[in-house]
Chains A and B, each alone.
Chain A
């Protein structure tokens, strides 16, 4: 009796030992680094939620290369030092062959040397600073638009909006400074006068000094570049200070729904660039994935205000999985090469990568669609431009 139990136990143990590595190989791990806590927590969580929707869909459809995918999501705490640590952990400990991240431009720029060191590619889903794809890091594949692309897309609207003099208010980081530089360059080339260029700490909540100065400058349009929390406060405080200029926010992380909910009246009349307009999904290049994503977002009970952010994670994971499929194996070098051939019908548009940066070590850059929407009477409407 005893021997039989012992044999059974041994057999079970053996089976478990054998099955262990086999089970582990049945999933393909994809690393994700996002700001789940800290200053950018709201947006980072939306991106992670979008990525989870893609993961579920892909696995329900059979995964990739006959295996299920498994996202390993790490919190970079909105902090560049932590972001570097998450990437190192994902590569060294979890052995992920590819990563998606890291939301803000500052975070993405911080982790880039690590990608080069370990030779692991990363799909950048949100960051817009030009430096990311022009600094010669061949492991970067960005699906979000650069500030320059946004500014170029905006160019035809300058005469339509009759902008004569523009002022700027941007967050004091790679994202804000990069965007203000590109937009002001484009505007100057169009013969628009540029008034004051004000900056603010990414954590600041009071902008009375900057807005008072902007009021004194007397431009007709104010370009604002920061995340949704600060945009909310700027709209409210601009109203308190009776600043009656037209406000346009850039960068696409402005969540107009959240602005309507939180800034109320003060949001009326403001314009916002977005890269996915969930209010009229029929205008996007690929309405089919957009609808699927929106339905699932609703079903999961996520914040409706997060739709304009979550799709970035959704597209990022689809892009990575398509690259793994083309590569035929889940290895960093093969995925990196495959990303150049990857074409995905995503919510960002038809995702494909063109070369940017110094010859020989180019980064991949997608050319997504850019939309300008307006908030009017407490609703998001097409800007009619």
Chain B
């Protein structure tokens, strides 16, 4: 029983960060129709910025997270303005190739700047875990979960309740019509990519202290994010959130009770099954954004 509870708790905590990774990617795809291969690198960027602020400069932990996210937003905006804006109207293959190039360039830059040796980030939370009966969880992970839930809720509010969110939803429904109504598409795209990038950087900044930071950490993050987004339906924020939790539970229980060798296969097995039954993903047809 303890084992099952522990697995469930692990999955909840993991699911929060998976969801955070997924919503940034789904937002960008839904509104911009860009398959963002740099998502994992923004995640790594957030983690390295966290390392820089906390370990090299000595800034406060929470302030460092905010700074890392802000820098992620800026980097995202930069990528959109420098690369994607020029590619508007180009076919999806061209954009994909450019994004793959950007991904490789970014990963190698990280290695050049930070070297391949893993970096660890000190966390201000006690290293002894919180123990409840037979299960335990680290304080840092609980903090990460809480912040992830807040960020997901914040993104939801942003899209549903703000003027920018309305413009984003309008652009998603019909780009031309939105432009004719006076929505400035360029701004919406820059904002979307910047927010999506900021969410990836936030995931990196939050998870950097839980794990260690090295140049290829983004690869797995990217892979998971794509799986979650496909699972939940491209462009759907509730889909990405629920998809994140489903993937986490699937992996955790699959590894715990079937075989850990197939831990990563479990998630993909589920995706295949869901896509067979519902080719657009779990939530794509009901509502695609927000």
Binding site for B on A (CB under 8 A): 36-39, 41-42, 44-45, 78, 172, 198-201, 203-206, 208-210, 212-213, 215-216, 228-229, 232-233, 239-242, 258, 261-266, 303, 305-306
Contact = CB atoms under 8 A, between A and B. Distances in A.
Contacts of B215: 37, 41
Contacts of B214: 41-42, 229
B251 A209 contact: yes
Contact of B129 (A36, A41, A172, A240): A240
Chain A CB within 10 Å — which of B118, B220, B253 has the most? B118
9 contacts: A37-B108, A41-B111, A199-B261, A203-B216, A206-B14, A209-B7, A212-B6, A213-B260, A242-B136
Contacts of B141: 240
B211 interface: yes
Contacts of A305: 117
Contacts of A201: 220, 263-264
A239 B129 contact: yes
B135 to A, nearest CB: 9
A41 B263 CA distance: 25
B131 interface: yes
Given A205-B220, A240-B129, A36 B116 contact: yes
Nearest to B252: A209
A303 B117 contact: yes
B1 to A, nearest CB: 11
A45 B255 CA distance: 33
Chain B CB within 10 Å — which of A41, A266, A305 has the most? A41
Main secondary structure of the interface of B (DSSP, over half): helix
Interface string B208-233: 00011011110110000000000000
A111 B9 CA distance: 43
Instruction: Bin the interface of chain B by size.
Output: 35 or more
B78 interface: no
B256 interface: yes
Interface in B68-121: 107-108, 111, 115-120
Chain A CB within 10 Å — which of B6, B111, B252 has the most? B6
B217 A205 contact: yes
B161 to A, nearest CB: 34
A41 B10 CA distance: 30
By Cβ-Cβ distance, the 3 closest A-B pairs, closest first, are: A41-B116, A209-B255, A208-B10
Contacts of B131: 242
Given A41-B111, A172-B261, A199-B260, A208 B14 contact: yes
A212 B10 contact: yes
B127 A203 contact: no
Nearest to B220: A203
Given A216-B3, A240-B137, A37 B117 contact: no
Given A37-B111, A208-B14, A213-B3, A239 B263 contact: no
A210 B107 CA distance: 29
Contact of B260 (A198, A241, A265, A306): A198
Contact of B127 (A205, A209, A216, A265): A265
A209 B118 contact: no
Contacts of B60: none
Contacts of A216: 2-3
Given A233-B212, A239-B127, A266-B127, A203 B10 contact: no
Contact of B3 (A200, A212, A240): A212
A241 B6 contact: yes
B138 interface: yes
B261 to A, nearest CB: 4
A303 B216 CA distance: 20
Interface string B250-269: 01111110001101100000
Chain B CB within 10 Å — which of A205, A206, A239, A240 has the most? A206
A282 B20 CA distance: 51
Contacts of A239: 127, 129
B122 to A, nearest CB: 8
Nearest to B257: A213
